[in-house]
Amino acid sequence: MNEIIQILPQKIGDQDQNVVSARELHKALGVKTRFNDWADYNINNILFDKNVDFIVVWSELKFQFAFLSETEVQNRTPQSLTASGYQSDYLLTINTAKEIAMMSRTNKGKEVRNYFIRVEQEYLELLKSGSKSDCWKDVRHDGKSPRRAVTDSIDRLVKHAFANGSKNADNYYRLITLETYRGLALINTNKDFSLATVDFKSYRDNLSKDDLRHLAVIENAISKLIDHELEIGTFYKDIFKKIRAKIDQFENFLLS
């Protein structure tokens, strides 16, 4: 099925949901109205409930899906966030997005709504089929070890960065994950998201065996690279540059 709009796993309230970005929905519907005006009318002024039908998030302008965590947003005003180069967005449940698409009363709105219906049908069929094969489960299980290893290595990198004057070293958890997923084309080009809001366990559960294998290989390589560079005392910013170069190298290999 052609992907009209990216669907992500996300917890809203106490429920695990499939969600879409309101900005992406706005674009997919071909709406000419400015996003903020459209969102006020279609989300804030309709009887949708915050933290039930949608949540509000903030992201960097250059990384639409690189959402800030609640801690990063806490005690900051929308005005200060906007002035710092962030933009607001809404993560909508599929049902909410479907209703908004239907309210547009256009052929494009009908197309988007039907797309959501097909996605829901495929998801239900997957559940009925007994989930994943034993082979897939083995690959998924095998990928947990390199994931733990790279997380431990990033943790050591973060401590190294803080010790050498970094004020924002915690961002490396998010940035390295974003770069890894981008390099493997597991997320749409120029559309990134972060550990702050996305349930990556659920996301990995929807990857193919090949994607999981590629992910394990690059995470293992990144872990070894970080450990080696820390051992020889490389400056933390240079380590991040080498990580990006390693991911680019792997991306070129996959595309060749």
pLDDT tens, position by position, 30-77: 988 999 999 988 898 777 888 889 988 888 776 666 677 777 788 888
- Taking alpha carbons only, the member of 225, 238, 237, 138 closest to residue 180 is 225
* Alpha-carbon dihedral 72, 75, 77, 81, rounded to 10 degrees: -20
Helices (H) and strands (E) in the chain, counts: 12, 5
Q: Indicate whether 210 and 148 sit together in one domain.
A: yes
Residue 234 lies in a domain: yes
Question: CA-to-CA distance for 246 and 170, rounded, in angstroms?
Answer: 21
Q: Answer for the pair 143, 66: CB distance below 8 angstroms, yes or no.
A: no
Q: Are residues 27 and 118 in the same domain?
A: yes
Question: What pLDDT, on a 0 to 100 scale, did the predictor assign at position 195?
Answer: 44
Strands 54-60 and 15-21: unpaired
Strands 15-21 and 63-67, how do they pair?
Answer: unpaired
| Integer Cα distance of 46 and 224 in angstroms | 51
Residue 90 pairs with which residues in a beta bridge? 56
pLDDT at 61: 72
Q: Is residue 2 part of a domain?
A: no
Judged by DSSP in three states, 74 sits in: coil
Task: Please say whether the beta carbons of 128 and 47 come within 8 A.
Answer: no
Q: What pLDDT, on a 0 to 100 scale, did the predictor assign at position 189?
A: 40
- Is 161 among the domain residues? yes
Q: What is the pLDDT of residue 2?
A: 57
User: Crossing angle, helix 209-231 and helix 171-183, to 10 degrees?
Assistant: 130
Q: What is the model's pLDDT at position 173?
A: 85
> Are residues 30 and 117 both part of a single domain?
yes
Mean pLDDT calculated for residue range 20-33: 90
Same domain, yes or no, for 225 and 116?
A: no
DSSP conformation class of 106: S
Mean pLDDT of the chain: 81
Beta bridge partners of 56: 90
108 and 141 housed in the same domain: no
Same domain, yes or no, for 23 and 103?
Answer: yes
Same domain, 145 and 175: yes
Question: What average pLDDT does range 211-230 have in this prediction?
Answer: 87
- Determine, yes or no, domain membership for 80: yes
186 inside domain: yes
Please check the confidence at residue 140 and state whether its pLDDT lies above 90. no
Select the more confidently predicted residue: 47 or 115: 115
Mark whether 93 and 169 lie in a shared domain: no
| pLDDT, position 254 | 61
pLDDT score at 92: 92
pLDDT band at 164 (very low <50, low <70, confident <90, very high): very high
User: Does 111 fall in a domain?
Assistant: yes
- Structural domain span for residue 89: 8-128
pLDDT interval class at 152 (50, 70, 90): very high
Regarding whether 203 and 147 lie in a shared domain, the answer is: yes
Task: Please tell me the distance from the alpha carbon of residue 32 to that of residue 59, in angstroms, as a whole number.
Answer: 22
Spatial CB neighbours of 32, under 8 Å, sequence gap ≥ 6: none
Q: How many domains does the chain have?
A: 2
Evaluate whether residue 1 is within a structural domain: no
From the number of C-beta atoms within 10 Å of its C-beta (0-12, 13-18, 19+), residue 136 rates as middle
Q: Is residue 230 part of a domain?
A: yes
Same domain, 163 and 183: yes
Decide which of 89 and 10 is more confident: 89
Which of 88, 110, 128 terminates a domain? The answer is 128
Residue where a domain stops, chosen among 113, 128, 143: 128
Is the pLDDT score of 224 beyond 80?
yes
pLDDT of residue 208: 77
Average pLDDT over residues 159-176: 90
Please name the residues in contact with 200: beta carbons below 8 A apart, sequence gap of 6 or more. Answer: 177
Based on the domain organization, do 115 and 180 belong to the same domain?
A: no
Q: Is the pTM of this model over 0.75?
A: no
Judgement on whether residues 175 and 220 belong to the same structural domain of the protein = yes
Q: Answer yes or no: is pLDDT of 183 > 60.
A: yes
Residue 15 confidence (pLDDT) above 80: no
Among 11-15, 60-64, 89-93, the range scoring the smallest mean pLDDT is: 60-64
Q: Per-residue DSSP letters for 92-104?
A: EEHHHHHHHHHHT
Mean pLDDT value of segment 203-207? 73
Domain boundary among the residues 112, 128, 144 is at 128
What does the block give as tokens for 113? Answer: 């709504």
